[in-house]
Structure 1
């Protein structure tokens, strides 16, 4: 069974200067690696893509599960990993949790990976 991700402080902004800016501290490298690890799964990439492209930018776990062809429990697991990394958030509405991507955090992650300072 794969190890679960350590908890990332998602209240803090995504860590650091672009990789091309020079050597990164150990703490920043660990934080960045944990966030990238959360995206290092094809199902999670599909989930982010669906959330970013959804008309309301929100979807339930069951809708996401059906869209990517996994069980509800598997979808919930992947959403939990993305939420712990700060890449998605959820809000309870009635009996459903609605999930949405966190575009600012995804953009910050993209900026860190940008080769141009």
Structure 2
């Protein structure tokens, strides 16, 4: 049987959303709606990070380690650290675009965030 090798190459992107000519004089407009949305994203980021750090600390303390066997404790720690990484790498990057209503980062950051935030099946 012949198997084709598929190489995934990201599409070529050019970031021009914040450097669009309509923002040439005053920059992207900041409205109350965008400030509210950025505040909600920031609160979600802090909540995600704080809750997962709390889970990691509580599960791995000596006080609770006698109630949880090592395999479920290891699994829960891995899940919480993965969720913590998503909270730090994905939701924290989304705060500034929510405020400015454009993408202020480079093309590489866009590709990294899309690859981290999208599930593999879609």
Q: Is the shorter-chain TM-score for this pair beyond 0.5, marking a shared fold? A: no
Indicate the structure with greater helix content.
2
Normalising by structure 1, what TM-score?
0.29
Indicate the structure with greater strand content.
1
Larger radius of gyration: 2
